[in-house]
Amino acid sequence: MKKLTLAILTITLAMSCNQEQKQEAPKPVTPFVWEGANLYFLLTDRFNNGDTSNDVNFDRTKETGKLRGFEGGDIKGITQKIKEGYFTDLGINAIWMTPIVEQIHGGTDEGTGFTYGFHGYWAKDWTKIDPNFGTEEDLKELVKEAHAKGIRIVLDAVINHTGPVTEKDPVWPDEWVRTDKQCTYDSYDNTISCTLVANLPDIRTESNENVELPPQLVEKWKAEGRYEQEVKELDAFFERTGHPRAPRFYIMKWLTDYITDFGIDGYRVDTVKHTEEYVWQEFKKECDYAFETYKKNNPDKVLDGNNFYLVGEVYNYGISGGQFYDYGDRKVNYFNPPSFQSLINFEFKWNSKELSYEDAFKKYNDSLKGPLKGFGTLNYLSSHDDGSPFDAKREKPYETANRLLLSPGTSQVYYGDESARSLVIEGTEGDATLRSFMNWEALNSDPKTKAVLEHWQKLGQFRTNHPAVGAGKHQMITQEPYLFYRSYQQGDFKDLVIVGLDLPKGEKVIDVSKVFEEGDKLQDAYSGVKATVENGKIIINSNANIILIERQ
């Protein structure tokens, strides 16, 4: 009898343990999905000054137009905010930085005041980081600290032009650049084989002719004691690839070095439509090779199985065009043959102004699950060069967050969106008004700014915790009150959320029966209120007019 009792006890304990193990089984890890990522875009020079010792280089000391000189922001400053958890608190899982390559040493006036290359788009030497931005060690630390927090790093690639010609920066040889024809933008050819503006030499990306290195680079590298090493690496690149020593392939080699040397996760590509489309197919191939090489050489630093991310800036591309951009006389597909995973969506701000939440969300769901299936868009409401932002005076920071962070597609938070940094700066000319220094003082001291930031943080964290928000399927539940759900599945990972907007404050009775089951334990990520599904409903009592429903 004792043996029988012991056996029953043993079986009971085993069943109890198994049940406990089953209950405590870990949830599937939330995958990182580029199509639903929350990406933060910042001007390296305008975000945070982490090292005041590098604020002036190459005697860039001439008086500039307002906000047209270097302001001190650098790589160390970005790393500092990563370490502090600023991006994590904001729900950011990718950071796009403006180009960090060495800029022209002089400056120029394009009609908006004397300007230095603080923005990073005026390359002088693609092989070196501009000392105003930092050092190679700074970039290595940034990538390391970002990856430790699950944040991807996207740099900015410029292939179609050098920096302007100045008294300190001579023009590159004729076989490298054209300077004689300015774009008129009225056809395919008049958008590609020409200079974007006067005094911005256009790389001859169409050329397959072998060219020698520009003499100014040879002289510079020799003075820096690295000429032999750079030539050795170029020889190895051209031997491996079989590419001609044409201008575009030199630049591709220099840009992909940032992948193999530092482990960056993606490139935002500048001025895509001003270069032949096959160039981007070639660039993608080299980026993919470099990324695989990095992962092979650094298996302990691999974050996941995602491919290298390429997002293109095809100026004025909109999601309504599907996979095509229309030049007027020709339509070009920049997604397929394989080029870009995503394009920046210049249409999003207009859709946000003209369409209701539901009409906009449905439009994006239908496009991303239809013509753009397998690809993505990068949506924004303000940026560094769009003079017609959604909310220039920052009168609608809460709606801006709702529309951007809850829309299908990848969200691009422009630095200061989350802090209502003004986009109207008195005394500026042109795009300088969009590029003021990050308003840290307001974030630290102004209650209204702090409240805006808190709203962006809650929505951002919800988005990054739930790929369903950006990459999932959208379905409206009710129009009044406005409720919708998003669903997403990848392998064993399943994600379901419900969102409500413009709801009454106080007690809210929410019908969740179409999404969740009786007895499910849920919570509102916005207010922190918890609830259990009873009779297909939950009750959320909060002072907010928004709910973000997730499983507990």
Contact assessment for residue 253 and residue 237, using Cβ atoms and an 8 Å cutoff: yes
Is there a catalytic annotation at residue 313?
Answer: yes
User: What is the rounded CA–CA span in Å between residue 476 and residue 7?
Assistant: 55
| CA separation, residue 391 to residues 73, 292, 408, 460 (Å) | 25, 41, 20, 19
Is there a catalytic annotation at residue 270?
Answer: yes
Q: Which amino acid is at 8?
A: I
Active-site residue (options: 45, 74, 202, 313): 313
Q: DSSP for 268-316?
A: EESSGGGS-HHHHHHHHHHHHHHHHHHHHH-GGG---SPPPEEEE--TT
Q: Which of 318, 390, 413 is nearest to 38 (CA)?
A: 413
Element (H, E) at 114: strand 114-115
Burial of 33 (0-12, 13-18, 19+ CB in 10 A): buried
Residues in contact with 294: Cβ distance below 8 Å, sequence separation at least 6, in sequence order = 259, 260, 263, 301
User: What is the rounded CA–CA span in Å between residue 540 and residue 547?
Assistant: 8
User: What is the rounded CA–CA span in Å between residue 328 and residue 305?
Assistant: 39
User: What is the rounded CA–CA span in Å between residue 126 and residue 157?
Assistant: 10
94 phi and psi angles, rounded to 5 deg: -155, 140
Rounded to the nearest angstrom, the gap between the alpha carbon of residue 98 and the centroid of all alpha carbons in its chain is: 10
Rounded to the nearest angstrom, the gap between the alpha carbon of residue 124 and the centroid of all alpha carbons in its chain is: 24
Active-site residue (options: 270, 277, 418, 495): 270
Residues in contact with 416: Cβ distance below 8 Å, sequence separation at least 6, in sequence order = 436, 438, 439
Contact assessment for residue 417 and residue 382, using Cβ atoms and an 8 Å cutoff: yes
Residues in contact with 432: Cβ distance below 8 Å, sequence separation at least 6, in sequence order = 65, 66, 67, 68, 112, 113, 425
Q: DSSP for 249-265?
A: HHHHHHHHHHHHHH---
Strand 410-414 relative to strand 177-178: parallel, antiparallel, unpaired? unpaired
Polymer length in residues for the chain: 552
Active site residues: 270, 313
